[in-house]
Chains A and B, each alone.
Chain A
Amino acid sequence: MTLLQIKDLSAFYGRTQALFNCSFDVSEGEFIALLGSNGAGKTTMLRALSGLLHFEGSIAYAGTSLGKVSPQRRLELGIAHIPQGRGTFTEFTVDENLSLGATIVTSRSQIKEDKERWYDAFPRLKERRDQLAGNLSGGEQQMLAVARALMSRPKLLMCDEPSLGLAPSITQEILTIFKTLHRDHGMTLLVVEQNVDITLQYADRAFVIEAGQIVASGTAVEMVNNEDIKKSYLGVAG
């Protein structure tokens, strides 16, 4: 079933157009990688999807048009966005960060239950639950960002460059977490990355954005084997 249907999406920063008529579909339960170099428009795509940026064209999520839907309502519909830089509330404790992730959740018992669940899944966060999030390492902050986003029980989890500033082994760890969420919980993932080779090991399908347009798409296997795409758009030496 199609979860996300994007048609002729254009987005602007002031007068500068950052996305040009992008169209693609994402099915429920897919792990999608959105690839492209710096400034290609990947982040803009996520910002349009989560409601931080006004767009032209249409985005339909589970049949609902998102044109005039507030960011808060989009979270309620199940769209969570982990921004570049992780969106950590650095002057708040780890536990407060998780509470903030559950802002749209009204049931206190659900919040308590989810916190325990994700503390069990991320024992390092549990150890540091009363520390300021700003004192965590980069990898721990990325885990916190994932756990925080999961507190709203999203159906579609979007993550902007999880590998940024992380050692390759930690990037692998984060992507493994995504893979687990995808496999065991049927979560749909949209992960923006520049780190092409690692990401394609985990994703089902990939899109390549270049200068605000979608220039290539295919399964992860096709992408890995297509040297032309890798050379032309992704800056990977063949």
Chain B
Amino acid sequence: MSLFFQLVVSGLTTGAIYAALALALVLIFRATNVVNFGQGEMATFSAYCTWQLMEWGAPLWVALLVSLAGSFAVGVITFRAVIRPLMSAPVEAIVVVTLGIFVLFQAAGMWLWGAEQRSFPSLFPDGGFNVGDVRILNSTVGTLVILVMIAVLMGLIFSFTRLGLSMRAAAFDHARSVLVGVNVERMLMLGWGFAAVIGAFAAILIAPRLFLNPTMMTPILFYGLAAATLGGWDSPLGAIAGGLIVGVAESLGASYLSFIGADMRIAVPIALTLLILLVKPVGLFGSYKVTKL
């Protein structure tokens, strides 16, 4: 039984990272109806910026804060430069553009920092503690705490501030929001900025384990997409739950199902995606939209 709990704990740790990336994807999708396939690569770029600042001698926390602020700016600029001009374009065009964002940031990372793996420091002290037979690492606790903090902060902003209300309104309906005086474009820009910051957290939290490299977040994107589909693309809460479920399912599946094993782990999120699309296509926390013709 302790193996089971150990696997759950380990699944929650990776799940928290999938959840963060899924949250970033969902925030952007809700507001702009765009799936940003470049979200993971933008996040890797942010992690590289943190690493570079530390190489130049900045302390970890300073590097972290500066690169998070930079990520916000990159999110805003990406929206202004490539998404806004295409807001009324067909969805295929926008998909191609976000794939372009993917390629752009991955290539920029390769060009600036090369393809070799680099070690990245953990934000949390080494070591951990035991609960019964289950070993819990400090980094596990830290990762989950950061995820909870992001979720609570987002919840507070969206529920209790005028800015959050305007952002929700802009995501709900562009034309109606314009008519009450919401600056919809500014709200979408802020949404892209926030999403980039949350994505950056995901990359910075996973980098110590995977080693920093330009394609580090590519597989994580698959898990993030699965998590968002599982939780429901219009539900931030669903993204978080979806991320954690995918993480735990992956961890358990890889150990208990011999035909999956370590090599086939990525089959787990794909299977989950397929299952939810068959059973409840809007996702666990998604809501059905009624379209009047």
**Chain A residues at the B interface, C-beta cutoff of 8 Å:** 50-52, 71-72, 75-76, 81, 83, 87-89, 91-92, 96, 99-101, 103-104, 148, 152
CB-CB under 8 A from A148, the residues of chain B are 180
Given contacts A50-B179, A52-B178, 7 further A-B contacts (CB under 8 A): A52-B179, A72-B181, A83-B175, A87-B175, A89-B173, A148-B180, A152-B180
Complex Cα gap A84–B13 (Å)? 49
Q: Are B166 and A103 in contact (CB under 8 A)?
A: yes
Residue of A nearest to B159 (CB): A96
**Is B175 touching A103 in the complex (CB atoms < 8 A)?**
no
Interface string of B214-253 (1 = CB under 8 A from A): 0000000000000000000000000000000000000000
Contact A72 B176 (CB under 8 A): no
> How close is B290's CB to chain A, nearest CB, in angstroms?
10
Given contacts A72-B183, A76-B181, contact A92 B175 (CB under 8 A): no
Q: Is B154 an interface residue (CB 8 A)?
A: no
Instruction: List the 6 closest pairs (A to B, CB-CB), nearest first.
Output: A104-B181, A103-B181, A75-B181, A87-B176, A100-B180, A72-B181
With both chains docked as a complex, state the minimum distance between the C-beta of B42 and any C-beta of chain A, in angstroms. Answer: 29
Specify which of A75, A76, A89, A104 is in contact with B172 (CB 8 Å cutoff): A89
Partner of B165, one of A75, A83, A91, A100: A100
Note all chain A residues with C-beta closer than 8 A to B180: 75, 87, 100-101, 103, 148, 152
Which chain B residues in 161-200 approach chain A with CB under 8 Å?
Answer: 162, 165-166, 168-169, 172-173, 175-183
How distant is the Cα of A192 from the Cα of B169 in the complex, in angstroms?
A: 26
Number of A-B contacts defined by CB within 8 Å = 53
Q: How far is the CB of B91 from chain A (nearest CB, A)?
A: 19
Please, how many angstroms separate the alpha-carbon atoms of A148 and B181 in the complex? Answer: 11
CA distance A91 to B290 in the complex (A): 13
| CA distance in complex: A101, B173 (Å) | 14
Bound Cα distance from A92 to B162, whole angstroms: 13
Contact of A83 with B179 at beta-carbon distance under 8 Å, contacts A99-B165, A100-B165 already known: yes
A89 and B176 within 8 A (CB)? yes
User: What are some 16 contacts across the A-B interface (CB < 8 A)?
Assistant: A52-B175, A52-B178, A71-B178, A72-B183, A76-B181, A88-B176, A89-B173, A91-B172, A99-B165, A100-B166, A100-B180, A101-B180, A103-B166, A103-B180, A103-B182, A152-B180
| Inter-chain contact A87/B169, CB cutoff 8 Å | no
Among B172, B173, B181, point to the contact of A71 (Cβ < 8 A): B181
Instruction: Known A92-B169, A99-B162, A99-B165; judge A83-B176 contact (CB<8 A).
Output: yes
Distance in angstroms between the alpha carbons of A104 and B169 in the assembled complex = 14
A15 CB, nearest partner CB in chain B, Å: 16
Q: Which residue of B lies closest to A108 (CB)?
A: B162
The CA-CA distance from A104 to B162 in the complex, in Å, is: 11
Interchain CB contact under 8 A, B168 and A92 = yes
Return chain A residues, CB-CB under 8 Å to B168. Answer: 92
**In the bound complex, do residue B165 and residue A152 qualify as a contact, i.e. CB atoms below 8 Å apart?**
no
Q: How far is the CA of A168 from the CA of B185 in the complex (A)?
A: 39
Q: How far is the CA of A148 from the CA of B165 in the complex (A)?
A: 15
Q: Which residues of B contact A88 (CB under 8 A)?
A: 176
- Determine the residue in chain B with the shortest Cβ distance to A148: B180
Give every chain B residue within 8 A of A152 (Cβ-Cβ): 180-181
* A92–B178 CB distance below 8 A: no
Bound CA–CA A92/B176 (angstroms):
13
